[in-house]
Amino acid sequence: MSPPDAVPPVAPASDASVGARQTSARIRRRWLGPRRSAGGGAGVVILQHQDDAPPGLLLDVLKARRLARRTVRVDRAARLPDPRSIALAVVLGSDRSADQTQDGWIAAEIDWLRSADTAGTTILGLGFGAQALAVALGGTVEPARRPGRGWRWVSTTEPQTIAPGPWFAWHDDAIRIPPGAQLIAHNDSGPQAYRAERHLGIQFHPEVTPEIINARVYAGTSRGVDTQDVLEATSREFKTAAVASGRLFSTFTDSVRRLDR
């Protein structure tokens, strides 16, 4: 990903969606890795909170590896599974903040994450999911001094996992990482990624596709966002970010013990 002082020329806004599907397909062939046959072990549960925050590029990695998986729609009052029965829990984004525990479903999900940690389940938190994981493990969430919306530069101490460069962000909060956690990426909005033993929390959104981004910038929560700027940046940055996302998700899922392969 190119640094802010060396970005390539801005493409016309209309280029943001031109050829997006073909580009995504070419990228996926590059980084999905070898297929694995499904067995009888524990699989993956994806906790989704709203229609416009799906697993995106992560789902391509899981499918390519033929990992047993299912999605639980927390926003539709779906029952959370017994965490002892799964190897990996993926917690996706939400427009809500993880500190809004007066909402019953948020408090229940954070309690479930604590149970999953105790049960030995590995947790990957993305966006809201990273916030919820932090709270479950003893961290906190607070309003960010500079909310992150759009493509934001991220610095990293673990480039083999998270590449430095622009990543797509969509949050108004900052995470105070849990006691004992290791900060591995940050920017001027606050912590952007951390490890807590086997778990990984990522405040930005490596899972997004151009279609997901378009839905976000045109949603009612995009006030104050320069839509044109975000779409131009997407046409410029997505290809490189998607390759980095594939490497991140592939490396992480391959490290999870007990995972059905």
Helix axes of 20-31 and 227-254: crossing angle, nearest 10 degrees: 20
The answer for residues whose C-beta is within 8 angstroms of residue 82's C-beta and 6 or more apart is none
Question: Do residues 53 and 29 lie in contact, with contact meaning Cβ atoms separated by under 8 Å?
Answer: no
Provide the pLDDT for residue 105. 85
Provide the pLDDT for residue 102. 63
Question: Do residues 201 and 122 lie in contact, with contact meaning Cβ atoms separated by under 8 Å?
Answer: no
- Please tell me the CATH superfamily of domain 4-254, with its number: Class I glutamine amidotransferase (GATase) domain (3.40.50.880)
What number of CA atoms fall less than 13 Å from residue 62's CA on the CB side? 21
Three-state secondary structure of 194-243:
EEECCEEEECCCCCCCHHHHHHHHCCHHHCCCCHHHHHHHHHHHHHHHHH
Q: Please give the chain's pLDDT, 261 residues, in tens.
A: 544 433 333 233 334 443 444 444 443 333 333 333 333 346 999 999 999 999 999 999 999 999 989 999 998 989 999 999 999 999 999 988 787 766 678 999 999 999 999 999 999 999 999 999 999 999 999 988 877 789 999 999 999 999 999 999 998 899 999 999 999 999 998 999 999 999 999 999 999 999 999 998 887 665 677 889 999 999 999 999 999 999 999 999 999 977 755
Tell me which amino acid residue 252 is.
F
Closest CA to 168 of 139, 133, 211: 211
Beta bridge partners of 168: 151
Say if pTM beats, i.e. exceeds, 0.85.
no
* CB neighbours of residue 228 within 10 Å: 13
* CB neighbours of residue 188 within 10 Å: 11
Provide the pLDDT for residue 12. 35
Provide the pLDDT for residue 38. 31
Q: How far apart are CA 154 and CA 138, in angstroms?
A: 24
Q: How far apart are CA 189 and CA 164, in angstroms?
A: 15
* Ramachandran sector of residue 130 (left: φ over 0; alpha: ψ -120 to 50; beta: rest): alpha
Query: CA-CA distances (angstroms) from residue 173 to 99, 130, 170, 248, 253?
Result: 10, 11, 9, 23, 27
Q: How far apart are CA 237 and CA 235, in angstroms?
A: 6
Q: How far apart are CA 261 and CA 37, in angstroms?
A: 6
DSSP state of 160: T
As a residue count, the chain comes to 261
Beta bridge partners of 248: none
